Amino acid sequence: MTKTKKQIAIQGWPGANHEIAAKAFFEADDIEVIPCLTFPDLFETLKNNRQCYGIIAIENTLVGSLLPNYTMLKDSDLVIIGEYKLRIKHQLLALPGQHISDIHEVYSHPMAIAQCEAFFKQYPHIKLIESEDTALSAKRIADNQQPGVGAIASELAAEMYQLDTLAHNIETNKRNYTRFLIISDRGKTEVDELLDQNRVNKSSLVFALPHEEGSLSKILTILAFYNINLTKIQSLPIVGQEWEYLFYVDLTFNDYKRYLQSLDAIRPLTSKLKSLGEYEAGRQSYPINNGHLEIEQAQ
């Protein structure tokens, strides 16, 4: 059976966690990764290439939500077609034949460095230097053949750039997960397929509420009446409208028709109501003893 070829825009360089999540989500397809150094670059890539899918981090269990990505998604004409939750693992990489005692500088994204600071306290001779991307830091070491320099990056980056792993899983918190959203401008096709298979059970909405007492509680009461479960709520200020906010919410449900009825019920009480996507609740990767990943359906 021939696999479908898909172009996937990722934030970061090949070998970054965005690519790992993309490979896991599109496991039944061949994918061609299009690297984008920043999230605005990714959205611009999707704007110019309508056949391309995108994958963006939206929240992390340690640092919370990536707020600018909510705004860029709302302002685009893209929709969420799926999600994936990845356990983030960091490796210390260097040129083959190097040892930790040889390393005097380590480069990586600021977030990765912050998540590994406890490990490096036992190596005070190593200077930690911020860079724009984990995988790109690894690539530069390989391209420039830099001895004495390390990178915090993924196992995939080590494999792609033929680097040695000097220390495995050096992140401090082993319950470090990132939730990624898969976005596309062809959402209707994917949603129709999922609906046919009775697999649509989650949605993401954004709306504004009048600045009056009880406005949010009314929305929550209606959703509860329709057996809709609120799994996340995030508020962001509306620029130019002091003390007024947009609410980004994630909902899960078992009955798609009841979900549509709940939208009809809350619509008169909101403004700027927009669906950011209807999709299947994502799978989550869990580490197990043999080093492989066990995939379970998120509850």
pLDDT at residue 205 in the model: 97
Which one is predicted more confidently, 20 or 296? 20
> What is the average per-residue pLDDT within 279-287?
72
- From the list 114, 107, 109, the residue with the least C-alpha distance to 38 is 109
The answer to whether residues 163 and 95 touch, using CB atoms and an 8 Å cutoff, is yes
- From the list 237, 159, 253, 157, the residue with the least C-alpha distance to 204 is 253
Mean pLDDT of the residues in the chain: 90
- The sheet with strand 127-130 has its strands ordered as 127-130, 105-108, 149-153, 91-94, 164-167
DSSP H or E run through 225: helix 215-225
pLDDT at residue 136 in the model: 96
- The sheet with strand 202-208 has its strands ordered as 229-237, 245-252, 202-208, 271-279
SS (H, E, C) 242-259: CCCEEEEEEEECCCHHHH
pLDDT at residue 207 in the model: 96
Which one is predicted more confidently, 265 or 244? 265
Q: 3-class DSSP state for residue 193?
A: helix
Please give the structure tokens belonging to residue 157: 């980056």
pLDDT at 292 over 60: no
Tell me: the pLDDT tens digits for 105-153?
Answer: 999 999 999 999 999 999 999 999 999 999 999 999 999 999 999 999 9
pLDDT at 298 over 70: no
- From the list 211, 205, 208, the residue with the least C-alpha distance to 230 is 205
**Could you write out the DSSP letters of every residue in 132-143?**
S-HHHHHHHHHH
Cα–Cα distance between 147 and 246 in angstroms, integer? Answer: 50
Q: Give φ, ψ of 180 to 5 degrees.
A: -110, 145
* Bridge partners, 64 (sequence order): 60
Residue 180's pLDDT band, with cuts at 50, 70 and 90, is very high
Burial 150-175 (b: 16+ CB within 10 A, else e): bbbbbbbbbebbebebbbebbbeeee
Beta-carbon contacts of residue 12 (< 8 Å; ≥ 6 apart): 18, 19, 35, 36, 37, 133, 134, 135, 136
How many CB atoms are located within 10 Å of the residue 210 CB? 10
Residue 295's pLDDT band, with cuts at 50, 70 and 90, is very low
pLDDT at residue 243 in the model: 81
Percentage of the chain modeled with pLDDT above 70: 92
pLDDT at residue 124 in the model: 95
Looking up tokens 């009048």, which residue turns up? 210
pLDDT at 45 over 90: yes
* Residue ranges in the chain assigned as alpha helix (H): 17-25, 39-48, 67-75, 110-114, 117-120, 134-144, 155-160, 187-196, 215-225, 256-266
How many CB atoms are located within 10 Å of the residue 178 CB? 21
* Bridge partners, 297 (sequence order): 283
pLDDT at residue 264 in the model: 97
Q: 3-class DSSP state for residue 149?
A: strand
Cα–Cα distance between 295 and 85 in angstroms, integer? Answer: 10
Cα–Cα distance between 179 and 175 in angstroms, integer? Answer: 13
Catalytic residues: 178, 180
**Could you write out the DSSP letters of every residue in 43-58?**
HHHHHH-TT-EEEEEE
pLDDT at residue 288 in the model: 36
pLDDT at residue 187 in the model: 66
Cα–Cα distance between 133 and 39 in angstroms, integer? Answer: 12
pLDDT at 83 over 90: yes
pTM for the predicted model, two decimal places = 0.89
Residue 198's pLDDT band, with cuts at 50, 70 and 90, is confident
pLDDT at residue 192 in the model: 79
Residue 94's pLDDT band, with cuts at 50, 70 and 90, is very high
Cα–Cα distance between 82 and 72 in angstroms, integer? Answer: 17
